[in-house]
Amino acid sequence: MIGLAEREEGLDFLPKFGADGLATCVAIDAGRGDVLMVAHMNEAALKATLESGFVHYWSRSRGALWRKGDTSGQRQRLVELRVDCDQDAFLAFVEVGGDGGACHTGRRSCFYRRLETGPAGPRLAFVEAEKPAG
């Protein structure tokens, strides 16, 4: 049993996966510092990421290990991995290959819409003009 102090203040890497075997990983553009995407890793994805130096995720929709960029060319070379206090979430600072984007819709970041409040309740608005990731 790993104690709380050990997990939060220690220097042992003790990643914690949820009941579904997953932990959240936030990918950040190492050069620009902004969030590209949020996805999940299981233990195998984390291991493959650390061994290869390229970020792997677990695709919940496909039920498969997924090396990001295999089809799109948008590989994510791992520059730095940070872990949060209770070691169940990661920040992956990455250098992106291909056109530099991360989103399957063709945009650079998956977070291309923001919430705005209108008279009929919340609505989305595009954050910037839609354009290719490059």
- Contact positions vs a copy of itself (CB under 8 A): 8-13, 20, 24, 26, 28, 33-35, 37-38, 50, 80-85, 89, 91, 103-105, 107, 110-115, 117, 121-125, 127
Contacts of 97 (CB under 8 A, 6+ apart): 69, 73, 74, 75, 76, 77
| Closer CB to a copy of itself, 12 or 63, in the complex | 12
Measured from the CB atom, is 10 or 73 closer to a copy of itself?
10
Closest to a copy of itself by CB, 9 vs 134, is 9
* Nearest Cα to Cα of residue 91 among 18, 29, 6: 29
- Least separation in angstroms between residue 134's CB and a copy of itself is 18
Range list of H helices, 31-75: 43-52
CB distance 16 to 88 below 8 Å: yes
